[in-house]
Amino acid sequence: MAAFTVRDIPDLSGKLAVVTGATGGLGLETALALAGAGAEVALVGRNPAKGRDAAALIRTRHPGAKVWFEQVDLASLSSVGEFADEMLAEGRPIDILINNAGVMALPRRQTTADGFEMQFGTNYLSHFALTARLLPLLTTGQARVVQLASIAHKGGRIRLDDLNHERGYRAWPVYQQSKLAMLMFAVELDRRSRANGWGLTSVAAHPGFARTDLIANGPAVDGGSLFEWGVSLLAPVLSHSAADGALPTLMAATASGVVGGQYFGPQGWNDMKGPPGIADIRPQAMDPEVATKLWTASEGLTGVTF
């Protein structure tokens, strides 16, 4: 069977997609492909200038594309809530929600506007809250809901006793936890959708090792020259483009035959690059007891319920 490409995306005319972190990198590539297939796309991000540029680029590539920018700071639950309220007031069903935005391995511990550790708060809690608030529109649209996880989940552990890593912050384990949480969220949301009749197709995807600004804005943000040097040596061999990195997400969001609870990623060596397909889910991501406790804790931290 031929590998999935953007040419395999079905006609999405009349469908509404919401993509977080859509002003650059994987999110922009995802939005470009969805708009190219006819979807109306809400580009969610925090930088209006980048948002305008992203929308202009998409319209240049796909004249007549229906795209617009929504300013949302995913490091602020109030900003997430304001956006969700706006969407709910409009009342239009959402067909595709892609929770893509994220930060990686910040060298020093930072916090969101709500006091959460930045990676856990931005990568996971904000998307948990956004999905919960948009649930009425997602159920009406019988939506595909895609959580962006990572190969980093393989070494992750959910620290239920210290989710915000207030003790002994270490950048990489915190990132691993946030991405493990995203994968567990996708699986648990599928289970709850089936139990409650929400009609969602809840799945996850990861890009492998894609060439984006994630490293420059994360591990290298304080001048991590050694890290950047190592990555620059490995990238030509081990990585692929942001466009290729977006293919697992696009497959998860649009391909026929997708089943809730599935996980998509590159099929090459160590899942780093290659054509998209079904990815490996490590056992800790499938632990129902931890997933239930994480869900309950997330509702408590964010103040939202499904």
Q: How far apart are CA 225 and CA 227, in angstroms?
A: 5
What stretch of H or E contains 229? Answer: helix 225-238
Instruction: Identify the three-state secondary structure at position 21.
Output: coil
Q: What is the largest CA-CA distance in the chain?
A: 51
How far, CA to CA in Å, does 295 sit from each of 29, 120, 185? 30, 14, 8
How far, CA to CA in Å, does 94 sit from each of 69, 98, 143, 262? 16, 11, 6, 20
How far, CA to CA in Å, does 143 sit from each of 28, 89, 136, 181? 20, 18, 10, 21
Q: Which of 124, 169, 175, 263 is an active site residue?
A: 175
How far, CA to CA in Å, does 193 sit from each of 36, 76, 134, 180, 298? 30, 26, 14, 20, 17
Active site residue 175: yes
> What angle in degrees, to the nearest 10, is found between the helix axes of 77-90 and 126-133?
20
For the CA atoms of 13, 16, 17, 18, the dihedral, rounded to the nearest 10 degrees, stands at 160
Supply the residues annotated as catalytic: 175
